[in-house]
Structure 1
Amino acid sequence: MIKNEANARHLREANKAFKAIKSEKPMTDYAKAQQSIQENRERLKAERLAREVSSKDAAK
């Protein structure tokens, strides 16, 4: 009895450890495009800010 309970406990722990990750809905084409636009806008903003900082440093 104890051996079966231990096996069951180990099996439950193993199932928890290897439990499938909650799957997210696949992205639609629209969502992919929106994400791509957002990432591009953030990249361009970072580049612009870096240029502004470097031009201020060069002006000093």
Structure 2
Amino acid sequence: MDKMKVTYEAMLSLTAEMVLDDALRKYRTEQIYQEIDKALATGDRISFRLLTDELKSMN
């Protein structure tokens, strides 16, 4: 019974970590898109290039 509890807790922990990672990735992606929009609006090519590279590396 104890082994089953440990296994369950480990799986629960991994699931929580996956959910958190996914939420953080989505949040950062939204931030990057907003910053890309800003860079386009201001004509900041360097920031645009850096941000699009970061976005590509996340996938």
Deviation track 1:2-59 (CA, whole Å, cap 9, x = no partner) reads xxxxxxxxxxxxxxxxxxxxxxxx8700000000000000000000000000000000
Q: Where do 5+ consecutive residues of structure 2 fail to align? A: 38-59
Q: Structure 1: how far apart are the matches of 2:6 and 2:14?
A: 12
Aligned residues: 35
Please state which structure has a larger fraction of its residues in helix.
2
Larger RCO of the pair (alpha carbons < 8 Å, separation 6+): 2
Runs of 4+ in 1 over 4 A off after TM superposition: none
Partner of 2:24: 47
TM-score normalised over the length of structure 1 = 0.55
RMSD over equivalenced CA pairs, Å: 1.6
Q: Where do 5+ consecutive residues of structure 1 fail to align? A: 1-25
**1:34 maps onto 2:11 in alignment:** yes
TM-score normalised over the length of structure 2 = 0.56
Tell me the percent identity: 17
